[in-house]
Every structure is written in C-alpha cells, then in structure tokens.
Amino acid sequence: MANPQVATVPATEPVTLDEVKRRLRIEITNSDDDDLLNDLTQAARARAEAFLNRRLVTQTLDFFVDAFPATDFIELPGGRLASITSLKYTDSDNLETTWTATNYFASITAEPGRLHLAFNISWPTATLKPRDAVVVRYVVGYGAAAAVPFGIRAGMMLAIGHLFHNRSDVVIQQGVTAIEIPQAA
C-alpha cells in the first residue's frame, strides 16, 4: 500500500517540551537546548509513526490511487481514521471533480480506516488520467496529545533522551575502544 502525503502537519507533538525537560532533568526555565529538543521530539514522533505505521496526533493526509478499486471501499493508511474530508478524481482531460460526500461514508472502526461506497452507489465511470487520478483527503490520529497511549509517549521520551545525550551513534571510550550505540527505544 502506498504512503499517504501529509496535507496538514500536526499542530502539537505527543509530548510537550516541558515533559521532555522533566524527563531529562533539565530546568524548565533553561531554554538553551529548546530548539534541539523540539527537533528531537519531531524526529521521535516521525520514527514512532513510521515504526507503528500510524499517525499519532491529528493530521490531515492525502492518499492517491491510480484508479477506483474493484471493491466497494478504499483502505486509508495512517492509523485511526477520524473523518474523510473529500474524494476528488481527475479525468483524462485533466479536469478535477469533487465527488459528492453522500456517495460514500467513513468506516472508522476498522484499521486501517476505509472509505466505503454508500448503498446502491457505484464508482464514477469517467476515463481517468494514468497516475494518481483519485485522491482521498482524510483526518487521522488519536486526537489530542493526551489521547496518545502512554507507552508510545514513553518510548518517544526514551528516544529523545538517547538522541540528546548521544549526539553520535559511536562513542569512543578512553583508549581505543569504539562502542556503537543501539538505535532503539
């Protein structure tokens, strides 16, 4: 299954800067490393999302397919589906059409979520452009940062701490021994 593109990035991260600072025992008022910690938090979220194959906090995705499927649904990767914003398709004359929302509905109980055809509705029969003719825009994620399971948030904080304290993946001890640091949380 192809990867969706991010249309709207998350407004927040699953862990706050203050939570990260408390975990790393950095004074909340010390802002020397705030930019780095924010970057590491984004990197930890991206890594967790890639590993889990799901988006953590609310974000909007665009999923492209070349044609309408033979089935009555389109699976939408990215984790917990909150809603479907639109379905658009582009015909061979490069004219884009937004399909009426009453023609489909969101199945939010299955994972991955699905866009299903409404009862007695068929996919459009237009001749489509050859690639990426159909795009579904949808919203995924657990919602607010507090709704992200603590185990995921704790794993992110471990990864952030690891990256903060080990700015390289090889540590040279006294003498000539080089130790590679595992890249796992």
For residue 171, the domain's CATH number is: 1.10.3230
Residues 47 and 79 in one domain: no
Tokens found for residue 102: 């009453």
Domain identity same for 149 and 131: no
67 and 100 within one domain: yes
Are 77 and 94 part of one and the same domain? yes
* Residues 66 and 26 both lie in one domain: no
185 domain-assigned: no
Is residue 130 included in any domain, yes or no? yes
116 and 133 in a single domain? The answer is yes
User: How many Å apart are CA 4 and CA 108, to the nearest integer?
Assistant: 17
In a domain, 73, yes or no: yes
pLDDT given for residue 164 in this prediction: 92
E-strand spans in the chain?
A: 5-8, 59-65, 73-76, 81-90, 96-98, 104-107, 113-117, 134-140, 170-172, 178-180
Question: Using CA atoms, how far apart are residues 52 and 38, in angstroms rounded to an integer?
Answer: 21
N- to C-terminal Cα separation, the chain: 26
Those residues of the chain that have pLDDT short of 50 are none
One domain, residues 85 and 14: no
Strand partners, 135: 64, 88
Residues 172 and 99 in one domain: no
In a shared domain, residues 52 and 71: no
Domain count across the chain: 2
Q: Would you state the structure tokens that stand for residue 38, as one six-digit string?
A: 């924010």
Structural domain containing residue 77:
59-140
Regarding whether 74 and 112 lie in a shared domain, the answer is yes
What is the predicted pLDDT for the residue at 59? 95
73 shares a domain with 13: no
